[in-house]
Chains A and B, each alone.
Chain A
Amino acid sequence: MQIPKTNVTLPNVVNTATKERKKKRYTGTTIVYVGLIVYFIVIAYPLLWMIISSFKSTDEIFTHSWSMPHTWLIENYVTAWKSGISSYFLNSVIVTGVSCFLTVLVSALGAYGLSRFEFQGKAFVLIICLGGLMLSPQVSLIPLYSIIQKLGIYNTHLALILPYVAYRIPLTILLIRAYFLSIPKELEEAARLDGCTSLGILFRIFIPMSTPILLTTTILTAYYTWNEFMFAIIFIDDDSLRTIPAGLMQFRDALQTDWGVLLAGLTISAAPIVMLFLFMQKYFIRGIANGSVK
């Protein structure tokens, strides 16, 4: 029998139907929870294993892969830090910091130009920005390598910073521009009447009002630059200038037999971006969601 779609309750019919459904739902829910937990273990255990094993000696990793460390070897972290990670870490902090600052500043200027002015060629400029989203770094690798050498910046932090900023600008401009477009025109006009210049309007009104999107884009840029690998192994050759992803390869080759120290190095490398994610989840997710649906 079909239950009519009304708000009138039909006690006896609904009761048996819901009972039946509840029973079904109960087993269904159990299956779903089991699935979620199995998937949880598959994702979480490898990361947990990395942290736990980073406190073990190599022997203990081999013989007791699954158990907790007998004694927690904090020395692994000290050794990892001293045998290279500290310098990779510092390089990553410099490259990430400068790249984030430049990307957001240059993009905010560009987004302002694109959102508050009418000018010839505006459509073309937007296409150039959109187009930048589609070009993958692999395609530019060899010419970029030559350009960087010609500019005389091969083997310097700039060899990474300039391409990183260049590749992040299209997305960052588009995200900031969308936000700027939502700021009411009246604010700008009032400021203008008070004698504020356009640069003043950008820095005193637009930028302070756009903190959420600026945070989002900073986090996305940090995420990209902290983890970028291909440019990092090719545009820098000097071990003392390497960022973490490239440095870890060197680190692996040097410590092939010292698993505990290597795992400590991996844990140190992953920690900052994981922390950033845990504290700023909202901005992170908003960023990837907006970024994917251009």
Chain B
Amino acid sequence: MKIVTCIKQVPDTEAEIKWDIPKGTLKRDGMDPIINPFDEFALEEALLTRENFDGDIIAISMGPEKASDVLRNALALTVNEVHRLTDDAFAGSDTYATAYILAAAIKKIGDVDVVFCGKQSTDGNTGVVGAELASILGFSQLTYVSKVRQIDAANKKIVVERSIEGGIEVIEAKLPAVVSVIKGINEPRLPNLMGIRKAAKIEIPAWNADDLGIDKAKVGHEGASTKVVEIAVPPPRGAGEILKGELEDIANIVTDKLIDLKVIK
């Protein structure tokens, strides 16, 4: 089995976000970076899959030099191979351009059976790169996956559970597939000291646009079809009323106010 996992470095969810307003991109320097929380589940699912079905895991990440950290972490968790996808031309890529770059790397890796990625990133929050990736590659599109029931590499088949509105959908799909996973699918493990030490010494290979055979006009600011024109902080909600007094009175007031909204039937 050849397993690819796409991981992204994102600013810590607690970090103060700084924007390069004219460009509409993030100033990533000075922000504490972490692995996108959803991608931790993707990486863990790749590790579990290898344990159950054997094979190799290749982790890829698109990003600047600093993004090597998440790949080094993946190496510490014993993935077999990593590649950082980086090129000045990639900056400002929108979801399609990002999926196109990742797809080019997956094609270059070749003979991939399954791609695991997180449901969404916590910075861009778009949640569509997995689906776009599947569409570009022509792989089975399996999103919101909460459980991988079965993988049959020999017969090129996978069965997953998808957690969607109102319940769980069980899908059987042909491999290769792109599987985007949700939180709760597994418990991500932590790397051990030996793994961290080993990974620290490994040089992280980088692939640029030429290595990937990418048409630069299709990616980055140049290629993106969607363009950010304004960034704003949503207006503060403003504190309302703190209800004070005896519990009996407070409960009366709040239930009256809620019933007055005419939403409760």
Do these two chains really belong together in a complex?
no
